[in-house]
Amino acid sequence: MLFDRSQTLALLQLGDSAYPAGGFAFSWGLEGLAADGMVANRSELDRIIADQLARRWASMDRILLRQAFRAEDCGAIAGVDRLAEAATASAEMREGSRRAGRALLGVWVKLDGALSVVYRGLVSSDGRLGHLAVMQAVVGRDAGLSLDATELVSGWTLVTGLVSAAVRLGIVGHIEAQRSQAAARGLLAELLAEAPPPDALPASFTPFIDIAVSRGPLRHVRMFTT
């Protein structure tokens, strides 16, 4: 397969931690787990990342992303978006997903992404819309990425977001963070190597993470939205 420089550069741009989509505001349960004493070192961080990738991203977010990427029009994309809303049991995770997704969509509206501009109209009129995995598909299409590339950047931004949150929380240092990313890179590659069946339905099973996120509003001090 030929090396696609243009698409690789787009991946580097969209996967860069400096990309202004607000991802730094979300720990996806890591902050709560740390507060409850359930993650305090790199080994435990790697386990959490693996759980997020295998038990949520691959079985839910990836499925939603693929459906939205292949949707024929904005109405069909909205249908996938509403499925994301219904499939996410935790109210805090639903809100976090919408906030992160809308932030990402907002960047591409400002960059004049054609599909993003049109879909923003639907999101503005329906509070259930704007989930992150679906918006990643919309942005991937506007950026001219293939489905494979869009999946890759979706999974990788989850990894970098979790590792970045771990550094800010003092769970790992910068060198350990690189080792965690290397370990996660291998798992993500394995997950991406096997495509889910066309009729796959989104499902996740990360109970400890979901509980940690749901307990967020009860905490007196918080660094992250989720």
How far is 201 from 30, CA to CA, in rounded Å? 26
Distances in Å between the alpha carbon of 120 and those of 45, 95, 96? Answer: 35, 17, 18
The pLDDT value given to residue 9: 83
The pLDDT value given to residue 148: 93
CB 175 within 8 A of CB 55: no
Q: Alpha helices, DSSP H only, in 20-146?
A: 30-35, 42-52, 62-70, 74-87, 91-110, 114-125, 132-142
- pLDDT tens, position by position, for the chain (226 residues)? 456 778 788 777 777 766 766 566 778 888 888 888 888 899 999 999 999 999 999 999 999 999 999 999 999 999 999 999 999 888 888 998 999 999 999 999 999 999 999 999 999 999 999 999 999 999 999 999 999 999 999 999 999 989 999 999 999 999 999 999 999 999 999 999 999 998 999 999 888 888 877 776 666 656 666 6
How far is 145 from 148, CA to CA, in rounded Å? 8
Taking the complete model, does pTM exceed 0.85, yes or no? yes
The pLDDT value given to residue 74: 97
One-letter identity of residue 99: R
Domains, the chain, in order of start with CATH, read 27-218 (1.10.4190.10)
Which residues make Cβ contacts (< 8 Å) with residue 131, sequence separation at least 6? 64, 81, 84, 85, 88, 94, 97, 98, 101
Q: What are the structure tokens assigned to 3, written together?
A: 């090396």
